Structure 1
Amino acid sequence: MIEPMKLGQPTLTGRLIELEPLAPNSALDLAEAANHPEIWTYLDEPTPDSNAVAALVAEAVEEQQSGLRIPYIIRDRRTGAAIGSISFIDIQARHRGVEIGWAWLTPDYWGTGAVREASYLLMKHAFEAAGAIRVVFKTDSRNDRSQRAIERLGATREGVFRNHRILRDGHIRHSVFYSVTVEEWPRVRDNLE
């Protein structure tokens, strides 16, 4: 029998950022970073105030306790500031697959390489430490910026799930799926490094 994937939740450190496990008290750290409407355009959440950020953190922690999610805070290594969040979601331990999602970053850090490095650190951990054979990314079909960013990671576009979700505003979302397989990981890793 093949051993299931074991992700754990270690702190992961890169050149620009550090991924710190999200905790119940993380809402205070994330409130300022989250207070930008443009972050939430495609994430199906209202622009969070401090109460909404606390609710998002509580939901992430609850999903973590249920084994559904492994959430992280993205911190700027230079300043220590919380600048966003990213998670392992859709964890399929038996099939050794996982999605990297719920990624958001405060706009001052867009284009700095912070989310790219966060994605790299999570993929490296999934493939090299946890035994993953597949890492997935998905995004709203309207979110061209996110699609280009995922493609720059080296992920392969697999297709579109049409009418995948109904968002809070009633919009019917089509989701674009991408993946990196364990066979592709050495090439993707080398390009990212």
Structure 2
Amino acid sequence: MMSKQSIGFNFSEDYILEDDVIKLMPLRIEHIKQLVKISDDPDIWLYFFEKGNDLESLTTYVESAIQNRNYEKEYPLIVFDKRKNSYAGTTRFYEFSSVFNSIKLGHTWLGKNYRGTGLNKHCKYLLFQFAFEKMEFERIGFGAYAGNVISIAAMESVGCKKEGVLREFFPSLDNKGRTDAILFSILKKEWDAEVKSQLKNKLNNSKNNY
């Protein structure tokens, strides 16, 4: 019997998620013109293996993400900030598993002027709602460099729970050694029971937003 995920998720469909603050749309080649205006920031790419801090590298980054969508490996999205009326960054779903009915969420970055504005929480709320309520996945996984304290704090702030460490999983940033990966997740039953309402409350209280 096929799982709900394998029946329901369609890589060729253009899913659009939005609320009164943001709009998430499939990433396209034409978005490079807008993204290159905000991607020239070394803080964005510090923990990324792929870079996008100039036109050439950003073009490769976007083309690779779109190609992976065509291969049904990833589903990249662009983030549009309705308040600023401008594109803010990208995110994506990846590592779909119809066997385990699970998915991962990551490759998320926002331009400097969009960080610390609450945009990330709005983004995560829509993505969690879509994954758990429309696609009916049972779990969303996340990962981060052990030293990426900002990303780890952001994941914890939207309800992710730490579940383990992959020892020396990544090469260190100076390429002189190895560093750990920290694993997080959210389960559908946690979303239904508490995470959804808690995150919604944070969205309604801008003082607590990242």
Q: TM-score, normalised by structure 2?
A: 0.86
Question: Matched residues in 1 for 2:83 and 2:9: separation?
Answer: 27
Does the alignment pair 1:3 with 2:3?
yes
Between the two proteins, what is the percent identity of the paired residues?
Answer: 26
Q: Say if 1:141 and 1:175, in contact at 8 Å, map to a contact too.
A: yes
What CA distance in whole angstroms lies between the structure 2 residues aligned with 1:14 and 1:69?
Answer: 23
CA deviation profile, 1:56-75 (whole Å, cap 9, x unmatched): 00000011111110000011
Are 1:124 and 2:129 an aligned pair?
yes
| 5+ long unaligned stretches in structure 2 | 201-210
Matched residues in 1 for 2:57 and 2:174: separation? 17
CA contact (8 A) 1:44 1:168 kept: no
Q: Does 1:111 align with 2:82?
A: no
Unaligned runs of 5+ in 1: none
Segment drifting more, 37-46 vs 148-157: 37-46
Answering whether residue 72 of structure 2 is matched by residue 67 of structure 1, we say yes
Q: Which residue of 2 aligns with 1:134?
A: 139
Q: Which moves more between the two structures, 96-105 or 78-87? A: 78-87
Among candidates 182, 203, 208, match of residue 176 of structure 1: 182
CA distance 1:46–1:130, change in 2 (3 Å): closer
Mapping for residues 1-193 of structure 1, pairs under 5 Å: 1=1, 3-5=3-5, 6-8=8-10, 9-46=14-51, 48-166=53-171, 170=175, 172-186=178-192, 187-193=194-200
Gap change, CA 1:124 and 1:107, over 3 Å in 2: same
Distance 1:32 1:112 in 2: 19
Conserved in 1, the CA contact under 8 Å of 2:51 and 2:58? no
Aligned to 2:204: none
Q: Which consecutive segments of 4 or more residues in structure 1 shift more than 6 A?
A: none
For the 8 Å contact 1:163–1:173, the answer to whether it is kept is yes
Cα deviation for residue 119 of structure 1 reads 1.4
> What is the alpha-carbon root mean square deviation over aligned residues?
1.7
Counterpart in 1 of 2:207? none
When normalised by structure 1's length, the TM-score is 0.93
Whichever of the two has the greater Rg, that structure is 2
| Count of aligned pairs between the two proteins | 193
